[in-house]
Amino acid sequence: MSVMEAKSISIVFGGLKAVTNFDLKLGKGELVGLIGPNGAGKTTVFNMLTGVYSPTSGDIVLNTSREGHNYKSIIKLKPYQITQSGVARTFQNIRLFKDLSVLDNVRIAFHFNVKYNALQGILRTTAFYNEEDEITEKARDLLKIFNLQDKEKELAKNLPYGEQRKLEITRALATNPKVLLLDEPAAGMNPQETHDLMNLISFIRNKFDLTILLIEHDMSLVMGICERIVVLDYGQTIAVGTPEQISKDPKVIKAYLGEGV
Amino acid sequence: MKKNRIFNTITLLSASVIVFIVLAALLFTGIIDEYNGQLLTLAGIYIIVSLSLNLITGFTGQLSLGQAGFMSIGAYSSAIAMMNFHLPLVVSIIIGGLVTAVFGLLIGFPTLRLRGDYLAITTLGFGEIIRVIMVNLETYTGGAAGLKGIPSFSDTGDFLKDSIIKFSWVYVFVIITIVIVNNLINSSPGRAIVSIREDEIAANSMGINVSYYKIFSFTMSAFLAGIGGALYAVYFGYLNPVMFWFLTSVNFVVIVVLGGMGSITGTILAGVGFTYIQEWLRFFKDFRLVIFGLALIIVMLFWPRGLMGTNEFSIVKFVRKYIRKEHEGGSSKPSKIKGVK
Amino acid sequence: MNFMQEFGQQMVNGIALGSVYALIALGYTMVYGIVKLINFAHGDILMVGAFAGFFVLTANGQDPSKISNPLMLVLAFIIAMAVSALFGVIIEKTCYKPLRKAPKINLLITAIGVSIVLENGARVIPWIGPNPKQFPVLKDIPIIDGISQMIKAQTGVFISPVQILSFIIAILLMLMLFYIVNFTKTGKAMRAASYDMGAAQLMGINVDNIISVTFAIGAALAAAAGILFALNYPQVEPYMGIMPGLKAFVAAVLGGIGSIPGAMLGGFIMGIAETLTKGFISSKLADAVAFGILIIILVIKPSGILGKNTREKV
């Protein structure tokens, strides 16, 4: 049973075909890696899946029921609607709310599930206090998973790079997603941090019942935790398979290392 | 938790009452004379409009150069409500706010697509269009000649009494505005608003309907500016479109930046400071504006984050700290004795 | 006069006014293109230029009521442009340069501060003062008068000597600017800096100098526009730069701020819109119409008519 499907999506930027006929089926609970050389179109795929760009052709559907088959097209939806439908993401070039506290960064992601309205907020009704307490607690629980609980008052911009990446994942989790898209979560981390992150990603997948698609340059990370890998080059899928299959695939080796190897 | 809430509310309530009583008593005893009373009242109105601008510019991150336009809609609509429809003062002021909010909503939609400087020039344009319309709607606004005879807050003939009543009216509205802006910003919808300032794309990806909250913020900002405008109309008893041209909008931008973008307490301090500085500069006659301009440049060069940055001065925290110190002071004695032993 | 003639007349007025707006808008757009600053003081630089021209034209024993010596007019343009350029560079070096990395709103307020200082500084300087001063009229210059009469006889549309001068000066200056920007080394550096200041710096371009040159050119163009304005009214006063400055700014945004052809196009649109409104609708509504056009165009095309739509990289 698939949770999300991209059906032959393509996008053209001013005549340049950035991604052509990209297909992807994300099975429930799967952890899939999306790899490819620089400029292959990986982030563009993410941007299409999350509504930042709308594909020139093709369709993206999301299974809205947890168990059954109830697919809806999300291609016309705005990014915030897609997030509300259960697809969350992180960004390659970190996009935290820099001048806000770590806690507020996470609490903002809870916002669309908050039931009290602005008027109740201004009048400070009981509903306001109860829900604020609730989301603050939930946010702290999430921060604990990523070992950020002691830094909740710090401004996001003052965190070290690795922790900023972690905070982004925490924030994405706070939207309560079914599908999590991670754009180079280990970029800029050292091998030890990368290793810890790998464990963490596996852990949250099980704990939150997630389906994860991740873009990564760090091969050890991708090979280590992904069940399935999709390889993009020049906007086209050149290989799909298990890590072993991919590592032996001549087309992949050629794409990464060039001819004559 | 609940105890804290009650404590906070009581602290804030008593702080605002105490400030009011002190200022009213100073006015009553003549320690603050009527002239200064008038100035404080005017400062209150500036604070309301500046807070409305801070909401849209400091918290939502959308630079508006048309706040005086909103103010004028509030001013004229409340004046018309009082003079043509003979509605009571409070009702008219609130009508001023609501009418302006409707305009804020209408103006909010087309500006959704614009950002940065384009938005700034568009809001400036709206402000100027509103001014030209006010000049041309002579039947209701008196046109360029102005609108005279707007009923005052209090007209007993006793200057002292009048100025205290005027001050009290504005003071109440200032407190209400502070509460609205502060409580809004420190709630979930408020955080959604601030996230737009921080990073629109990320906010969108966190499930926040950015367009909705931009419009919401615009409407709210217009409402408060309209209230400020209505108070302004009653305060002066006279209106003229020239009072609301684009340099008036600039004044509010200056107050917000001087106080610190995104700081409520900063805006309050800067609002009072700005009003007084403008008055003091009158002594310099023709050089007044030259000095004002130079001061602006110097402050921006050497003090770019304004008085407060994005920080706030919290009365609750201040009181807490004080009480805790007392408490700690009390408890530290026994331990000292222990140490001696 | 029939409708077509009336319309033609208003179009001519509009194009003449528009060419002056275009000159001012060029300064806004060039500065914005490089330092991303809305230079609010630009309109006041225009005033500075107009006064410089005024002092040249009324100096030592000339007839203060009219200009009859074309050479003095040329001299007035040159000196005014030089004075304004100097002002532009000094303001940039002292007020804007230290804030280059500060938030944009700080820069904007500084520019407003500079504008307030220039306007009110002029009011307190004894040689200038707050009251409007009569500007010498353009009269009895045979070539220009001749052209004006010839056009009147041929088409029935009256083009005043000042309007003819506006066309000539505006076209001349725009051609010069076109040459500088496209065919000189400085122009190439300017284009590079406006495309990517950081990269330009890495390529060995002295960005500080380029910014100064940009301010100087923008200010010089504003000074020329200032004299043309003063000739038209004909008077000069410290606040004279505010409205033309604002409208030229609107013109720059309308055309797509940062785009030189956009500023010219925007200037002409603003000029024509203003005179047509004054001629056929109501002179009181002219300003509202100008801003109305701005808003409509921006809502349809948020980056202006010729502006590039930049997509933020995600």
A163 lies in a domain? no
Interval A61-73: pLDDT, tens: 998 776 777 889 9
| B-proximal residues of C, 120-139, CB under 8 Å | 120-121, 123-124, 130
Interval B86-97: pLDDT, tens: 999 999 999 999
Chains that touch C (3 or more CB pairs under 8 A): A, B
- From the list A208, A214, A184, A201, the residue with the least C-alpha distance to A26 is A214
Q: How confident is the model at residue B340 (pLDDT cuts 50, 70, 90)?
A: very low
What lies within 8 Å, CB to CB, of B116 at 6+ separation is B63, C104
Residues of A near B (Cβ–Cβ under 8 Å) read: 50, 52, 78-80, 83-84, 88-89, 91, 95-100, 104, 107-112, 114, 116-118, 121-124, 128-129, 131-133, 135, 171-172, 174-175
| C-proximal residues of A, 17-56, CB under 8 Å | 43, 47, 52
The pLDDT, as a whole number, for residue B326 is 57
Q: What is the CATH number of the domain that holds A225?
A: 3.40.50.300
Provide the 8-state DSSP code for A117.
Answer: -
* Both structure tokens of B149: 């005879």
* C314 in contact with chain A, both atoms CB, cutoff 8 A: yes
Chains that touch B (3 or more CB pairs under 8 A): A, C
Percentage of chain C with pLDDT > 70? 98
Average pLDDT of span C283-294: 85
Domain housing C210 = 9-300
Name the minimum distance, in Å, from the CA of C288 to any CA of chain B.
5
C188 lies in a domain? yes
Q: Report whether pLDDT(A158) > 60.
A: yes
CB contact at 8 A, C162 and C138: yes
CA distances from B315 to B5, B44, B171, B191 (A): 14, 19, 18, 21
Residue of B nearest to A175 (CA): B206
CA distances from B215 to A108, A225, B62, B102, B197 (A): 18, 44, 11, 11, 14
C119 lies in a domain? yes
Domain housing A51 = 2-98+175-257
Residue of A nearest to B217 (CA): A118
* Count of the separate structural domains present in chain A: 1
Closest CB from B110, B246, B261 relative to C299 = B110
Q: Which residues pair with A19 in a beta bridge?
A: A11
B293 versus C311: which is more confidently predicted?
Answer: B293
CB contact at 8 A, C34 and C205: no
Residue of C nearest to A51 (CA): C314
Q: Report whether pLDDT(C302) > 80.
A: yes
CB contact at 8 A, B53 and B263: no
| A-proximal residues of C, 109-138, CB under 8 Å | none
Q: Report whether pLDDT(B278) > 50.
A: yes
A113 lies in a domain? no
Considering only CB atoms, which chain A residues are within 8 Å of B179?
122
A137 lies in a domain? no
Burial class from Cβ neighbours inside 10 Å (0-12, 13-18, 19+) for residue C158 reads: middle
Q: Average pLDDT of chain B?
A: 87
Closest CB from B179, B184, B199 relative to A118 = B184
A30 lies in a domain? yes
CB contact at 8 A, A34 and A42: yes
Q: What is the CATH number of the domain that holds C25?
A: 1.10.3470
Omega before residue C234 within 30° of 0, cis: yes
Considering only CB atoms, which chain B residues are within 8 Å of A106?
none
The pLDDT, as a whole number, for residue A120 is 94
What does the alpha-carbon distance between residue A77 and residue A62 come to, in Å, rounded to a whole number?
11
* Both structure tokens of A60: 């993206």
Provide the 8-state DSSP code for B190.
Answer: H
E strand or H helix that includes residue B102: helix B89-111
Burial class from Cβ neighbours inside 10 Å (0-12, 13-18, 19+) for residue A236 reads: middle
Pairing relation of β-strands C66-67 and B147-148?
Answer: unpaired
Name the minimum distance, in Å, from the CA of A251 to any CA of chain B.
34
3-state secondary structure of A61: strand
* Both structure tokens of B256: 């917000």
C4 lies in a domain? no
C301 versus A113: which is more confidently predicted?
Answer: A113
Amino acid at A127: A
* C300 in contact with chain A, both atoms CB, cutoff 8 A: no
C314 lies in a domain? no
Q: What is the ipTM metric for this complex?
A: 0.92
Name the minimum distance, in Å, from the CA of A87 to any CA of chain C.
17
CB contact at 8 A, C19 and C271: yes
CA distances from A26 to A81, B79, C187 (A): 20, 63, 53
Considering only CB atoms, which chain A residues are within 8 Å of C314?
43, 47, 52, 91
Provide the 8-state DSSP code for C97.
Answer: G
Tell me how far the alpha carbon of residue B185 is from its chain's centroid.
14
The pLDDT, as a whole number, for residue C311 is 66
Considering only CB atoms, which chain B residues are within 8 Å of A128?
187
Residue of C nearest to A47 (CA): C314
What lies within 8 Å, CB to CB, of B164 at 6+ separation is B24, B27, B28, B37
A218 lies in a domain? yes
A51 lies in a domain? yes
The pLDDT, as a whole number, for residue B330 is 42
3-state secondary structure of B152: coil
Interval B156-201: pLDDT, tens: 878 788 888 899 999 999 999 999 999 999 999 999 999 999 999 9
| B-proximal residues of C, 64-83, CB under 8 Å | none
Q: Report whether pLDDT(B333) > 60.
A: no
**Half-sphere exposure (Cβ direction) of B171: Cα atoms closer than 13 Å:** 19
Considering only CB atoms, which chain A residues are within 8 Å of C313?
93
CB contact at 8 A, C264 and C219: no
Interval A85-141: pLDDT, tens: 999 999 999 999 999 999 999 999 999 999 999 999 999 999 999 999 999 999 999
3-state secondary structure of C107: helix
C305 lies in a domain? no
- From the list B188, B252, B189, the residue with the least C-alpha distance to B216 is B189
Name the minimum distance, in Å, from the CA of B111 to any CA of chain C.
7
A77 lies in a domain? yes
What does the alpha-carbon distance between residue C180 and residue C32 come to, in Å, rounded to a whole number?
18
The region of weakest confidence among A27-31, A97-101, B91-95, B279-283 is B279-283
- From the list C134, C127, C162, the residue with the least C-alpha distance to C147 is C162
What does the alpha-carbon distance between residue B275 and residue B281 come to, in Å, rounded to a whole number?
10
Pairing relation of β-strands A31-35 and A211-215?
Answer: parallel
* Both structure tokens of C81: 């442009």
Chain A, chain C: beta-carbon pairs less than 8 Å apart? 5
Residue in B3, B177, B188, B224 to test binding to A, most A beta-carbons within 10 Å: B188
Say how many C-beta atoms besides its own lie within 10 A of residue C202's C-beta. Answer: 9
What does the alpha-carbon distance between residue C215 and residue C234 come to, in Å, rounded to a whole number?
27
Amino acid at A83: T
What does the alpha-carbon distance between residue C43 and residue B28 come to, in Å, rounded to a whole number?
48
Beta strands in chain C (DSSP E): 66-67, 133-134, 137-138, 235-236
Interval A181-221: pLDDT, tens: 999 998 888 888 888 888 899 999 999 999 999 998 777 77
* Count of the separate structural domains present in chain C: 1
CB contact at 8 A, C24 and C248: yes
The pLDDT, as a whole number, for residue C6 is 85
Q: Average pLDDT of chain C?
A: 90
Q: Average pLDDT of chain A?
A: 91
Q: Could you give the angle at which helices A102-110 and B188-198 cross, rounded to 10 degrees? A: 110
CB contact at 8 A, A82 and B206: no
What does the alpha-carbon distance between residue C271 and residue C167 come to, in Å, rounded to a whole number?
13
Task: Kindly provide the b/e burial profile for residues B153-170, where b requires at least 16 CB atoms within 10 angstroms of the residue's own CB.
Answer: bbeeeeeeebbbbbbbbb
Q: Report whether pLDDT(A79) > 60.
A: yes
